[in-house]
Structure 1
Amino acid sequence: MKFSNPLLYAVCLSAVFHWPAAAQPTSDDKLEQVEQIRLHAGELPSVTLTPDLLYRLLAAELAASQGQYDLAGQTLLDLAIETSDPRLAKRAFQFAMIDRNLARALAAARQWALLAPKDPEAVASSLALAASSGQTAGLANALWQRIDKAEDKDRAVAQASAIIGKMPDKRLALEVLEKALHPSVMGMPSAHLALSDAAWAASDPDRALKEARKAQELDPDSGLAAQRILEYGLQADPELALKETREFVQTHPDSRDVQLLFVNRLVERREFDEALRQVAIMRRNAPEDFDLLYTEAEVNIRAAHYDQARKLLEEYIAVQNQRRLSIRDKASNAMSDASDARLLLVQIAERQNNLKEAIAQLELIDDPSLRFQAQVHKAVLQARMGSLDEARRSLDRLHPRDTHERSVLALTLASIYREAGRTDTAVEVLVKADKEIPDSTEIKYDLAMLYERQGRMEDFETLMRRVIELDPNNANAYNSLGYTYADQNRKLDEAQDLLERALDLDPDNPFILDSVGWYFYRTGDYEAAIEYLKRSLSQMDSIEVVAHLGEVLWVSGRRDEAMKVWSKAASTASDNEVLQETLKRLGVKLK
């Protein structure tokens, strides 16, 4: 049977295809697809729907429905080549992406672009995948051709920027973008914004700042340029970047995004007074912008101005309650916003060690999406107050809706018992939970760590290896097992492999950096150990890391430095077990 009418052919295909969950289109998407088929009917192939073709289409669909996206993708790619139908190539591309088979995805995207050269999605997908695979030959010219032919050149430049952003070599990506942006578009602010982002990704903050300033010269009112001048300038030239941002927000009082970013960066620099002055200016300029009450409260919390923060949050909650009573606002996010504010009040109460007030605020949270979280938190606070039985009853009263919430309850209860020194009871809780929810790597991980605390090293190793088997990308599992071997000064070759894998998965994790530093200490590479431990400490204020760093400095002969590190830590946490054990083992007495 031959279909010369492409629309009728498409209807037959739609009857065969049932999209997998990961790529299920909405009703609007389907209507748009049919409309596109109608509009481009003359461009689609005339295909004979033979029994063999129908069988292979059905086989591909069946494979996809069973999660065999590899087989489905290859079948559809073969069919796309045979029939010259771009829709089949697109489907092959989608299945390959779901399967994370980048090689096949690239082949399918190229076939899709070849069969539908006027389809911007097809061309962009092909270029992006080629870039992510490091295949850049001719990429700059291809990008320029798209920009040159585009009616909306700003959008074309943004797409080019997104495509080169997929390239693993960021310096090469910058070079490709430079070649793709011909002189005829360099008068557009968007071109310089794209170059600014590419330079930043290539670790060239000076160039990034330079390009952002060029964009602002072309468009003095550009908030996007102002944001980049602040962000990139804080690394290249902090004081000048702050000065330029002050001038911009003064002359552009409506630049809300820039002002909020400015406040955020001031808070990060602990320049709280200026941050609060900026929020005050914003509130004067926009008195009906009640979200600024929340912003000002957040800044006051960071500045430890708790009374003022509480006053602002109570005012903000009152506004949200008024919104909830408004007929016009029944479908608003007022309930959610009020609950978020109460979570900040909980945070304030905890910092002031007023746990009863924290619990009272948690009880007032009525947002259904936060209610479970709030009640779990309440149980944790009850346990911190010494009421373990009450905490257990609070958790028992909850009705978990799914496996995730069941896991959270078990992990929370185990954590409560662990913190109370009842490790055996915590183990019992998690052993029971592990039997009920055998696929939970979180439960297995925490149970393994409890085994390690009990000294059951064989059980710890077995369970942690099971976590890695179930979740090969679990950096914490590799780190925990690798650190344990390093700490016990055994299986150091395996510890190296485990920690390297952890570092590959999460290179900036301070806990992993600490473990790597401790591994280098065990292998006698003191300089490397000090480097990694200092990197860890720069991201995480941890007495344990301080204890490690001090020990490496002491053993390597830098004893004055070690004493300074330890003394500073002891001034705030003299009773820390790891610190005291380290000092005792090395026979060190702090002055």
Structure 2
Amino acid sequence: MRQINGQNSTSTIKQYSSTLLLMGSMLCSTHLLATTTATAYNANNYNAIQQTMLAEFALAYADTATALHNYTVLAIKSNSTTVKQRALNVALEQHDFKAALDIATHWVVQEPSDVPALFYLAHIALQAHEYELAAESIDKILSHDPSADLEKILAGIAPESKEDQTVLVDALQNSQAKDNPSILVIIAALEAQTGQFEQALATINRALKKRPNASNFILMKANLLSALGDEEQTRKWYSKASRQHKSNLEIRLAEVKYLIKVNDSMLALEKLEKILQKWPKAEEALFIAGLTSIDLKQYERAERYLVELRNSSQYQNDAYYYLALNAERKGHYETAKAYYRLVDGSLYAVSRQNLINIYTEQQRLNDALRFLTQERVNYPQHASFLYQAQAEILKKMGNKRAAIGLLEEAIQHLSDDPELIYAEVLLLDPFVQRDRLDQLLTLLLDLEPNHPAYLNAYAYTLALQNRRLDEARDYAERALEMAPDQASIMDTLGFVAYLQNDFSTAAKVLEQAYLLNDSVSIGVRYARALYMQGDLGRFAQILKQLQQKHPNDPQLAPLNSLLIPPPMPKSS
């Protein structure tokens, strides 16, 4: 039986490059021409190549309508599987499910016994909400291949609305293959999606009677028991499944992950040791064992597992990172630094930040600066992060001028990097370096006009300078639309409204900010707005709260004076 890759979801349908497709079409045409007379000219084959080329050129120039039309015509007229797959890809990429459905339907009409074509049709019918057609296609697939793996056919395209889910379940339950285990597991997944966990459990149990050794069936039942909150039965099911399927690594690892999830890490580690006795090179098991050992403070054991992954293509960077973390927790700081230096990929930034923290604890900030300078040579792709890290160290050392100078140098090399620009913005004095701030904040909003942090920064800077307040308010309001739960943005908007003498709005917005973040600076602004609004009772309450939480903060002194009544005039 011919197999296909990716019939189960749009993202996994095999993609063909333009070059491969054109070459494939030309080779196909060449083969066909060779079967005719040497002097015969096959216009149809030429037209197919021409249409394919035109379709690819149209795609290259974003003329998707022309490309889709050409490929749809080609797919319907052509017998080439490659062309049909490419046509489907184009239709699905454009979310044109009608065109995709037409292509897949014609494919099945041309080749009614082609199981891959039926898979495509079932998949696309689901996307187009043609559930009866999907069920009919599944019936045909199972009539050709009763053991076909169908349970992932809904991956990424399961109906979202309850009505559609009900229609699909009804269609599957009324199909000829309603008792097929693959159909049952799809029904169970849909029932679980709608929260019918008990019914889904009953359905998956029916499937398990027919295919008791199917890993995905076993794991689905475990997940359903867990979703029902029945930890005892979940544990028993995992334990039974692991005993009965001792040679199934997937099931045994799933049990370990569940035990870790329910905070039984010691038992999980014991089971991991048994797994590694049987599969000593199983990388996922080694990785989980390493992390679990760290959590249990069994550092020597953790190192033993993680060093096995130093040459792993999948886990190498993770292994180096956790080996460093493990060494750091043991107090072996030089070893930790050596491992952190080896980390790359997604953990690069956090590993270097941890390394900087070690240098900071060791009071060796100059060494950290030299290290980061060399890192910029070794890892130019991380230059932005490294410049910012160096600037932060210079700031800690009390050398803000050097930090600003370094960031200005960085921006000359990476002029379109908003994070670098923002880092300098945070260091500049809003009164002394006003022109530079205006320049950088304008550049920031040119690069990312709707970024809430950058809008807020500009609004707050203008408020501090008490100028262009209408513009500042517009920035703050736009920022709050983008990030409605940010106390810092509410604080800025309240500050601007206060400066505009809109005390009602200021008090309202600052109250919300204070509820989210009861910092002294926000509290002081809120109290001032209440005072100016004339709500002296609420003002006194907030001031009392601030005095209790921040008894010695100098920001409260001006507020205290507002409560002192003016001296009574002396009688003559």
Name segments (4+ residues, structure 1) moved above 6 Å: 25-33, 35-39, 53-57, 119-123, 366-377, 482-489, 512-523, 525-530, 544-551, 580-587
Q: Which residue of 2 aligns with 1:343?
A: 321
Q: Which residue of 1 aligns with 2:422?
A: 448
Q: Which residue of 2 aligns with 1:468?
A: 448
Specify the SS of the correspondent of 1:157.
coil
* Structure 1 counterpart of 2:422, one-letter code: A
Specify the SS of the correspondent of 2:300.
helix
Preserved contact between residue 184 and residue 204 of structure 2 (Cα < 8 Å): yes
> Which stretch has the larger CA shift, 386-395 or 486-495?
486-495
Preserved contact between residue 387 and residue 406 of structure 2 (Cα < 8 Å): yes
* Structure 2 counterpart of 1:215, one-letter code: A
Q: Which residue of 2 aligns with 1:282?
A: 275
* Structure 2 counterpart of 1:310, one-letter code: E
* Residues 80-133 of structure 1 deviation map (CA, whole Å, 9 limit, x = unaligned): 466654577765654566xx6434xx354245335433476677667656755x
Task: Mark the CA change 1:231 to 1:406 in structure 2 (over 3 Å): closer, same or farther.
Answer: same
Unaligned runs of 5+ residues in structure 1 are 1-21, 322-332, 501-511, 534-543
Query: Cα offset for 1:548?
Result: 12
The one of 374, 383, 391 aligned to 2:368: 391
Q: In the alignment, is residue 310 of structure 1 matched against residue 290 of structure 2?
A: no
Q: Which residue of 2 aligns with 1:355?
A: 333
Preserved contact between residue 199 and residue 207 of structure 1 (Cα < 8 Å): yes
> Which stretch has the larger CA shift, 481-490 or 224-233?
481-490
Preserved contact between residue 52 and residue 71 of structure 2 (Cα < 8 Å): no
Q: In the alignment, is residue 433 of structure 1 matched against residue 407 of structure 2?
A: no
Q: How far apart, in 2, do the equivalents of 1:529 and 1:193 lie?
A: 49
Q: Which residue of 2 aligns with 1:113?
A: 104
The one of 471, 474, 482 aligned to 1:498: 482
Task: Mark the CA change 1:157 to 1:376 in structure 2 (over 3 Å): closer, same or farther.
Answer: same
The one of 285, 288, 294 aligned to 1:295: 288
Task: Give the number of the structure with larger relative contact order, counting CA–CA contacts within 8 Å between residues 6 or more apart.
Answer: 2
Query: Cα offset for 1:527?
Result: 12
Q: How far apart, in 1, do the equivalents of 2:101 and 2:243 lie?
A: 50
Query: Cα offset for 1:479?
Result: 6.3
* Structure 2 counterpart of 1:465, one-letter code: L
The one of 69, 77, 93 aligned to 1:78: 69
Aligned-pair Cα RMSD in Å: 5.7
Kindly report which structure 2 residues correspond to 1:407-426, keeping only aligned pairs within 5 A, or say none: 407-417=384-394, 425-426=402-403
> Which stretch has the larger CA shift, 267-276 or 119-128?
119-128
* Residues 327-378 of structure 1 deviation map (CA, whole Å, 9 limit, x = unaligned): xxxxxx4587666433212112334565333113346x49999999977864
Q: How far apart, in 1, do the equivalents of 2:30 and 2:507 lie?
A: 65
Q: Which residue of 2 aligns with 1:18?
A: none
Q: In the alignment, is residue 233 of structure 1 matched against residue 225 of structure 2?
A: yes
Q: How far apart, in 2, do the equivalents of 1:312 and 1:269 lie?
A: 21
Query: Cα offset for 1:464?
Result: 4.6
* Structure 2 counterpart of 1:451, one-letter code: V
Q: Which residue of 2 aligns with 1:262?
A: 255
* Structure 1 counterpart of 2:303, one-letter code: L
Task: Mark the CA change 1:466 to 1:377 in structure 2 (over 3 Å): closer, same or farther.
Answer: farther
Q: Which residue of 1 aligns with 2:137?
A: 146
* Structure 2 counterpart of 1:224, one-letter code: N
Q: Which residue of 2 aligns with 1:198?
A: 190
Query: Cα offset for 1:148?
Result: 1.4
Structure-1-length-normalised TM-score:
0.62
Q: Which residue of 1 aligns with 2:434?
A: none
Flag the structure with larger Rg: 2
* Structure 1 counterpart of 2:181, one-letter code: P
Preserved contact between residue 293 and residue 302 of structure 2 (Cα < 8 Å): no
Task: Mark the CA change 1:102 to 1:354 in structure 2 (over 3 Å): closer, same or farther.
Answer: same
* Structure 1 counterpart of 2:412, one-letter code: K
Aligned residues: 487
Q: In the alignment, is residue 180 of structure 1 matched against residue 158 of structure 2?
A: no
Kindly report which structure 2 residues correspond to 1:435-584, keeping only aligned pairs within 5 A, or say none: 435-439=412-416, 443-448=417-422, 450-452=424-426, 454=428, 456=430, 462-468=442-448, 477-478=451-452, 481=455, 490-491=473-474, 493-499=477-483
Q: How far apart, in 1, do the equivalents of 2:105 and 2:303 lie?
A: 57
Preserved contact between residue 223 and residue 257 of structure 1 (Cα < 8 Å): yes
Preserved contact between residue 392 and residue 413 of structure 1 (Cα < 8 Å): yes
Q: Which residue of 2 aligns with 1:218?
A: 210
Task: Mark the CA change 1:124 to 1:270 in structure 2 (over 3 Å): closer, same or farther.
Answer: same
Q: How far apart, in 2, do the equivalents of 1:37 and 1:586 lie?
A: 89
Q: Which residue of 2 aligns with 1:504?
A: none
Task: Mark the CA change 1:92 to 1:76 in structure 2 (over 3 Å): closer, same or farther.
Answer: farther
Task: Mark the CA change 1:270 to 1:60 in structure 2 (over 3 Å): closer, same or farther.
Answer: same
* Structure 1 counterpart of 2:263, one-letter code: R
Query: Cα offset for 1:291?
Result: 6.2
Q: How far apart, in 1, do the equivalents of 2:387 and 2:242 lie?
A: 50
Preserved contact between residue 444 and residue 464 of structure 1 (Cα < 8 Å): yes
* Structure 2 counterpart of 1:158, one-letter code: E
* Residues 450-472 of structure 1 deviation map (CA, whole Å, 9 limit, x = unaligned): 52464657567545533435xx8
Q: How far apart, in 2, do the equivalents of 1:214 and 1:549 lie?
A: 60
Query: Cα offset for 1:313?
Result: 1.7
Q: Which residue of 2 aligns with 1:509?
A: none
Q: How far apart, in 2, do the equivalents of 1:312 and 1:320 lie?
A: 12
Query: Cα offset for 1:424?
Result: 5.1
Q: Percent identity at matched positions?
A: 17
Preserved contact between residue 293 and residue 299 of structure 2 (Cα < 8 Å): yes
Specify the SS of the correspondent of 2:247.
coil
Structure-2-length-normalised TM-score:
0.64
Preserved contact between residue 296 and residue 309 of structure 1 (Cα < 8 Å): no
Task: Mark the CA change 1:350 to 1:255 in structure 2 (over 3 Å): closer, same or farther.
Answer: same
Specify the SS of the correspondent of 2:150.
helix
* Residues 446-494 of structure 1 deviation map (CA, whole Å, 9 limit, x = unaligned): 532552464657567545533435xx8xxxx346646997999955642
Q: How far apart, in 2, do the equivalents of 1:157 and 1:338 lie?
A: 34
Preserved contact between residue 201 and residue 224 of structure 2 (Cα < 8 Å): yes
Q: How far apart, in 2, do the equivalents of 1:585 and 1:251 lie?
A: 75
Specify the SS of the correspondent of 2:275.
helix
Q: In the alignment, is residue 253 of structure 1 matched against residue 246 of structure 2?
A: yes
Task: Mark the CA change 1:228 to 1:114 in structure 2 (over 3 Å): closer, same or farther.
Answer: closer
Specify the SS of the correspondent of 1:158.
coil
Q: Which residue of 2 aligns with 1:14?
A: none
Query: Cα offset for 1:143?
Result: 0.9
Q: Which residue of 1 aligns with 2:11?
A: none
Query: Cα offset for 1:399?
Result: 6.3
Q: Which residue of 2 aligns with 1:272?
A: 265
Q: How far apart, in 2, do the equivalents of 1:453 and 1:196 lie?
A: 57
